[in-house]
Structure 1
Amino acid sequence: MPRTGAARGQPAPERRARASSGRSSSGNGSDKSSDSDLLTRGSKEAKERRRTGGQRARQGARKDSGSGSAGSGSGSRSDGSAEGRRDREGRVTIDSQRMKRRRNERRGTESTKRATPPDGSPKNVSDDDANDGGRLSPSEADETLTGDFTVRCLEKAMSEGLQPCKIFGRRKRDRKTEYIVRWEGKAHIANTWVRGEQLRSTHPELVADFDAEYADRNDVVLVKRDWLIPQRVVNVTGIPPSTQLLVKWWGLPYVDCTWEKLDGHSLLPDLLERYIQFDHENLGRSYTAPTKTAHIEPYEPCRIMQSVTKWMLATWLENEGVCFVDNSPQSRHVEVAAAFVSERKWKHTKLATTLIIVGEHDLNHWCRQFARYAPGVNVVEYGGSATCRATVQQHEWSFGGLVSGGETLPQPRFNVLLTTYSTAMLDIVLLRQIVWDSVILYDGSPMLSAEASSLMARLGTLKSSHRALMFKSANFSELHITLNILDFLKRSPESMRNLESRLLNVSREEACMQTAALLAVVTMDYQFCEEALKNQESLNGENVCMGTLHTARLLELSEIVLASKTAKNNGADSTPVKDQDRVSVFPESFDFSSQRYLGFLHQLQALHNLYRSPVES
């Protein structure tokens, strides 16, 4: 393609610059620097004109002589490059928006984690918390309750006779501070928001204390959602329609019980019916619950839990102290205790009373699990401050009031008294006034704690024919631990004296082995029970574990005891349960006359003889 003159460019400016530089070289030396600058500047300008001129010439040539396809292709490439720049800019914008959205999501997740209470069993309210109205730390409170409370004028509320007693929250709304106030004598369900300036003018000390404690947080809510749910009716006064109920709320001690009207909460009518039903049962009166009350779904335990419950019932009928061990993460101790108490109440006697002692932090958890597994059992929490215990003694202890001087207490109003280690140590004199059908001691530590071991000696003075120790694991190599457990489970003082007399002339190691083996005889391990029931054919094997074989024998004996007890209760006209009619734990092919099984029974008999006197054995 021929080039035009404009495309070639002219070197005239460069020649003129060279000529002028040649002429100036013969002049004065002072003009050399200026001439050199002019030459450099002229050459740069010439190069710039040549470059721009060449570009214009090439563009004109393509426009004049280029084909339509080439032109369209060039145009498409140009548009494509521009569109590509727009795409890249768009992608950058989208990425920045996506990063911003993810950053906001992370912030929302962190705020949700801060507002969500931690998992696990709820914190038990101590004496200090009871005196403080049950206030929790911000990490344990439920910050979603902000909208559950209404705003109320403080002056109008005080004119109606209400007085603020505690502050349980703070927030900013419309650039004004508001506080959650609990009213004197009212439950947390009646809490309201009040203006900060109004509260400062009437109760400056409440505001000052709260702001000083939570100065580093803007929005604070110290109310837990469980505090708004009634747990049980403690007492009733008045006649309809002026009936007043003394209500205990979930998660709060007895010191926070409040008097409420029957229509104060949707659950109160059902709780009132249950309160009346429990009183009629303990007084031996017939009672028919109305059909309008809420239906309680019965708890249906699994086969393994049913077998363990039958074993507990058989030991109660035989007045034998036992141990229950479950080292699994599920920790089925409370489920076993609830199923045992419920089964005994509905199938044997409704007036049986049980004392259950647990750790300080397990009290609330056990009470909740009893409400789940045994809703028809009247369970009373007994612990906390002296005011809390006095409230229980006044309203829920017995129908005839307290008896002093160590005398026998009249008929209690509860089926289960759930208390703690420290409370049992403090009020052991009061606990001795009741004849307990069962005493259950639970230790939730990985190994049997020293506190539980020392408490067994104090509990040995209680009046009870059946005792059970529930734990996860224990170090039976310590002689004082095994002797404390055996002393707690003793069937009679003579048995312990006979055991101690047999341990006089033996070494410490041999005494530990004998007492540990004696404890294994009266111990039910849930893992062995599960293995014996799920794989019955393994009992025939030569490598069967002795613990599994012993557990199967305990389950078999419990079935025999319950069958004979049922036949005795039905009278002489009833048909006795035959062995072939009863479902056996052992498989049909099991050889009860084998040397292995007979040797196992001989070892058990030798261990039982440790409880007997030397003359009897």
Structure 2
Amino acid sequence: MQKENNGKYHEKESVNSEEATKTLSNRCTDQIITVKDAGVVGENIPSVNGDIEAVSDVPVEGTSEKGDIKLSVSEVDATVQTKQELTPESKVHGNINKIAGNGHDDTAYEFLVKWAGKSNIHNSWISESELRTLAKRKLENYKAKYGMGLINICKDQWCQPQRVIALRVSLDEVEEALIKWCGLPYDECTWERLDEPIMLKYVHLVTQFKNFECQALDRDVRGNRANARNRQELTVLVEQPKELKGGMLFPHQLEALNWLRKCWCKSKNVILADEMGLGKTVSACAFLSSLCCEFKINLPCLVLVPLSTMPNWMAEFASWAPHLNVVEYHGSARARSTIRQYEWHEGDATQIGKSKKSHKFNVLLTTYEMVLVDATYLRSVPWQVLIVDEGHRLKNSSTCFFPFSSII
């Protein structure tokens, strides 16, 4: 199909297969994520210039079942040289990142493609004939691993913004936000225009980011002037603090909160021990909220947890203490570098610990293994509190986790 100046589409003469192959051989690919039945026997292969655009003007019959397998494939480099026709369907933005699934009949296929450097909201459908030219090896690897049955390995949550970690104005004077996506590590953060339809639904994340920035600036000015006075004026809480939003604390949780406050004022190290399921995580969240709101101390606090429990900790903080800026610190070296650059405080990632500015986060949530790997960075932070989930791992000085106490 070809679009005329009047906005209508008319049939385009078929493209010579030899010329199309020569045109498309210069394109870059990275990974394929899904495939559907295109409902046609053959399709034209468009040419490209810069961003690739996919032909997908035939509706899909049926729906795809979803899976949660992520496919890793090799890179194929090429150069984009020629111009592409516009089509009524989704836009394609450059290098293919992955294939996420497929469906089939006795007709042609179309694959849902994740583009390198772009988020999953920009995924688009590409015909098999075009994909065979763009990413033949990736296509073969995908078929060898998943076959040609209906499958989708792209999770819905990967299209949901989790938090904004930076703002900027692009060269064309459009506001953009650096987005951390739900279920994906920090090394897959992408810059998105604030006028994107999905971003209009998450304006509160931009507001949250600006609030956290203002809080960090306020901590620079305020310092710890109120700490000594508040430690001497400790009173027992008989009611739940107003800043706790997740529900009502049980009596034993309120008692635990009072006990933790008292021990902190006396600079005593303690163990909060109880049976599983009685809300020790919530008590810890309430305690850190109290330090920030009641005692006005300049957190940061370091919380060490098993990787398997990190989602639960993040959920409890988001529910009970949404006013705290909680950052999860784990992942690849590139992901952790991104965290240090954008979530730590302003400045280059290699200068962490040398800046005089307050750290942006109130709580850094990480694992035992990350402390051992990045001890140099973590020792540079003036931690106010260390909380260790499953503290029995610090049981004696012979364990590799015992030196954690030396970082605060």
Give the alignment's TM-score, normalised by structure 1: 0.45
Whole-angstrom CA distance in 2 between matches of 1:236 and 1:429 = 28
**Corresponding residue for residue 359 of structure 1:** 306
Cα distance in structure 1, aligned partners of 2:165 and 2:398 = 34
Q: 1:199 matched to which residue of 2?
A: 131
Deviation for aligned residue 1:389? 0.7
Structure 2 CA distance for partners of 1:115 and 1:268, relative to 1, 3 Å: closer
Q: Which amino acid letter does the alignment assign opposite residue 122 of structure 2?
A: A
Could you say what secondary structure the match of 2:366 adopts? strand
Assess if the C-alpha contact under 8 Å between 1:383 and 1:419 holds in 2. yes
Inter-CA distance 172–184: structure 2 relative to 1 (3 Å threshold): same
Secondary structure of the 2:177 match is: strand
Kindly tell me: are residues 159 and 420 of structure 1, through their superposed partners in 2, closer, same or farther at Cα, counting changes over 3 Å? closer
Shift of 1:130: 11
- How far residue 249 of structure 1 moved from its aligned partner, in angstroms, is 0.7
1:341 aligns with 2:275: no
Q: 2:158 is matched with which residue? A: 227
Check conservation: 2:353, 2:381, Cα contact below 8 A: no
Amino acid at match of 2:399: S
2:326 equivalent to 1:395: no
Of all paired residues, the percent bearing the same amino acid is: 27
Higher-helix-fraction structure: 1
1:427–1:200 CA distance, 2 compared to 1 (3 A): same
Counterpart CA distance in 2 for 1:130 and 1:428 is 32
Within the candidate set 244, 248, 256, 2:188 is matched to 256
Q: Please, which of 393, 404, 407 is the counterpart of residue 459 of structure 1?
A: 404
Call closer, same or farther: CA 1:407–1:197 in 2, change over 3 Å. closer
The answer as to 2:97 corresponding to 1:165 is yes
Q: Which amino acid aligns with 1:325?
A: A
Paired residues of 2:99 and 2:142 also in contact (CA < 8 A): yes
Residues 603-614 of structure 1 mapped to structure 2, 5 A cutoff: none
For 1:422, which of 369, 372, 382 is the aligned residue? 369
| SS of corresponding position for 2:246 | coil
Q: Which has the larger radius of gyration?
A: 1
Aligned to 1:238: 169
Query: Where does 1:73-222 land on structure 2 (aligned, <5 Å)?
Result: 161-172=93-104, 175-215=107-147, 218-222=149-153
Offset of 1:351 from its aligned partner?
2.6
Contact conserved, 1:399 with 1:411, CA < 8 A, in 2?
no
Q: How many residues in Structure 1 have an aligned counterpart in Structure 2?
A: 309
C-alpha RMSD over aligned residues: 3.7
Query: Match of 2:218, as an amino acid?
Result: G
Q: Is the 8 A contact 1:421 1:455 kept in 2?
A: no
Say whether residues 1:311 and 2:256 are aligned partners.
Answer: no
1:558 aligned residue: none
1:400, distance to aligned residue in structure 2 (A): 4.9
Q: Is 2:268 aligned against 1:268?
A: no
Q: Does the residue aligned with 1:312 lie in a helix, a strand or coil?
A: helix
Alignment CA distance shift 1:189-1:406 (3 Å): closer
**Is residue 188–residue 228 contact of structure 1 (8 Å, CA) maintained in 2?**
yes
In 1, Cα distance between equivalents of 2:121 and 2:96:
14
Q: Tell me the TM-score normalised to structure 2 length.
A: 0.66
Judged with a 3 Å threshold, the aligned counterparts in structure 2 of structure 1 residues 405 and 231 are, in CA distance, closer, same or farther, namely closer
1:284 aligned residue (196, 218, 224) = 218
Q: Which amino acid aligns with 2:191?
A: W
Matched ranges for 1:354-503 at <5 A: 354-401=301-348, 410-443=357-390, 454-463=399-408
The answer as to whether partners of 1:358 and 1:420 remain within 8 angstroms in 2 is: yes
In 1, the alpha carbon distance for the partners of 2:286 and 2:244 equals 14
1:191 CA drift (Å): 1.6
Change (3 A) 1:227 1:158: closer
**1:116 Cα offset (Å):** 8.1
**Are the counterparts in 1 of residues 327 and 365 from structure 2 also a CA contact under 8 Å?**
yes
Letter in 1 for 2:169: G
Cα deviation for residue 406 of structure 1 reads: 7.5
1:222 CA displacement: 0.7
Deviation at 1:163, TM superposition (A): 2.5
State the 1:304 CA deviation.
Answer: 2.6
* CA displacement at 1:363 relative to structure 2: 2.3
- Distance of 1:404 and 1:390 partners within structure 2: 11
**Distance in 1 (alpha carbons) for counterparts of 2:157 and 2:195:** 19
| Structure-2 change in CA distance of 1:343 and 1:300 (3 Å) | farther
Corresponding letter in the other structure for 2:266? E
- CA change 1:154–1:169 in 2 (3 A) is farther
Q: CA deviation at 1:155?
A: 8.3
Structure-2 change in CA distance of 1:269 and 1:204 (3 Å):
same
Shift of 1:245: 0.3
Kindly provide the amino acid, as one letter, of the partner of residue 172 in structure 1: H
Unaligned runs of 5+ residues in structure 1 are 1-113, 118-122, 124-128, 134-152, 287-295, 464-617
Mapped to 2, the partners of 1:452 and 1:301 lie a distance apart of 39
